[in-house]
Amino acid sequence: MLTIEGIEKSAYKELETVKDRDGLEALRVKYLGRKGDLTGVLRSLKDLSEKERKTLGSRANKFKDKLQEKIDAKFLEFGEGDGVSNIDITRPGHKPSRGYLHLLSKTEQEIRKIFLSMNFSVVEGPELETEFYAFNALNLPEWHPAREAWDTFWIKPKKGGERMLLRPHTSPVQIRYMEEHQPPFQIIVPGRCFRYEATDATHDTNFYQFEGLMVGRDVNLANFKYIVEKFFEEFFKGQKVEARFRPSHFPFVEPGVEVDMRFKGGDWLEMMGAGMVHPKVFEAAHYDPRDFQGFAFGMGIERLAMIKYKIPDIRMFYSGDLRFIKQF
């Protein structure tokens, strides 16, 4: 019986001596054709044990590809032979399909651009976070009931290691950034976040946020209001947008507010949480809270895109449905 090794050897040898297109075609049929030697070997595989079948099968397939490649190359070398081109130059070409950005990436880029134009820097942080940065340093000690609002996915800790989790918000990057920089500064932090919660039209276990943080000697909420209104106006392409603050509570800000916006004549839409950075947060980052003050906010990227592009359900972003994705 023919072995793979034997076939390989003689195929390569014959390939070297082949002189013209006809010879090459004959060789192709002999080895790769439907009744060819290799097909014979592949057919006989069914009688082998599973292990043998696997190794031999993969070897035979590799050989098949390689030989086909070599034969193709040789055909090119020999040229068209009879001098008559068999290429139909009138045949329409294949339209190359171009890649493009997902709407969420596009939205994030728009956000970055607007804040960069207002002299903010763009910073990123890890999606897998430590308990310290995600909670404790943000004035959310273990016993704090507000932790429940940011319930997330915990990772099994390494022996003796710190507890880790998928970050439920981008706020941990506030601490990471302040540990390494001194005010004044203004940053935004776009990124992916995770929450352990039921999925519906406006919630998903996976979503995108961006954090804002501006710190200096006298940065205040009035500055913040100006910045968000400017941001909304840019993002919503020059439409006049009004923002309002409602009292709210986040352990890492004091006072804390909920920010709503509305277009001229429209309803108020709840957009984000924000507030003045809590002294305890400054302390966790080794700042003296008597030296600095500033505002922080956290906004959902999907929410912005949903309003701007009139998308009714957050799950559409992650459906992978091209009919949705290709519209933007």
Q: Which is nearer to ligand PHE, 53 or 192 (CB)?
A: 192
Q: How far is CA 307 from CA 204, 293, 311, in A?
A: 17, 32, 7
Name the minimum Å distance from CB 269 to ligand PHE. Answer: 16
Residue 247 tokens read as 């009292």
Q: Which is nearer to ligand PHE, 31 or 135 (CB)?
A: 135
Name the minimum Å distance from CB 260 to ligand PHE. Answer: 14
Is there binding between residue 298 and ligand PHE (CB under 6 A)?
yes
Of the candidate residues 135, 194, 235, 297, the single one contacting ligand PHE (CB under 6 A)? 297
Pairing of strands 121-122, 185-194: parallel
Q: Which is nearer to ligand PHE, 208 or 297 (CB)?
A: 297
Stretch that binds ligand PHE, among 94-102, 154-162, 235-243, 292-300 (CB under 6 A): 292-300
Name the minimum Å distance from CB 138 to ligand PHE. Answer: 8
Q: What are the two backbone dihedrals, phi and then psi, of residue 290, each rounded to the nearest 5 degrees? A: -80, -15
Is there binding between residue 123 and ligand PHE (CB under 6 A)?
no
Q: Which of 139, 162, 137, 140 is nearest to 151 (CA)?
A: 140
Q: Taking CB under 6 A as the criterion, which residues in 226-285 touch ligand PHE?
A: 250, 253, 273-275
The alpha carbon of 210 is separated from its chain's Cα centroid by a whole number of angstroms, namely: 14
Question: Do residues 255 and 247 touch, judged by C-beta distance below 8 A?
Answer: yes
164-166 sheet: strands from edge to edge: 128-130, 164-166, 154-155
Is there binding between residue 176 and ligand PHE (CB under 6 A)?
no
Name the minimum Å distance from CB 55 to ligand PHE. Answer: 53
Q: Which of 289, 122, 281 is nearest to 217 (CA)?
A: 289
Of the candidate residues 67, 227, 285, 296, the single one contacting ligand PHE (CB under 6 A)? 296
Q: Which is nearer to ligand PHE, 27 or 134 (CB)?
A: 134
Name the minimum Å distance from CB 243 to ligand PHE. Answer: 15
Question: Do residues 216 and 183 touch, judged by C-beta distance below 8 A?
Answer: yes
Of the candidate residues 130, 139, 171, 186, the single one contacting ligand PHE (CB under 6 A)? 171
Q: What are the two backbone dihedrals, phi and then psi, of residue 321, each rounded to the nearest 5 degrees? A: -80, 115
Q: How far is CA 259 from CA 3, 111, 152, 206, 265, in A?
A: 75, 17, 24, 22, 18
- What amino acid positions are annotated as catalytic residues? 150, 169, 195, 209, 253, 296
Give the interface size with ligand PHE as a residue count (CB under 6 A).
Answer: 10
Chain residues in the site for ligand PHE (CB under 6 A)? 169, 171, 250, 253, 273-275, 296-298
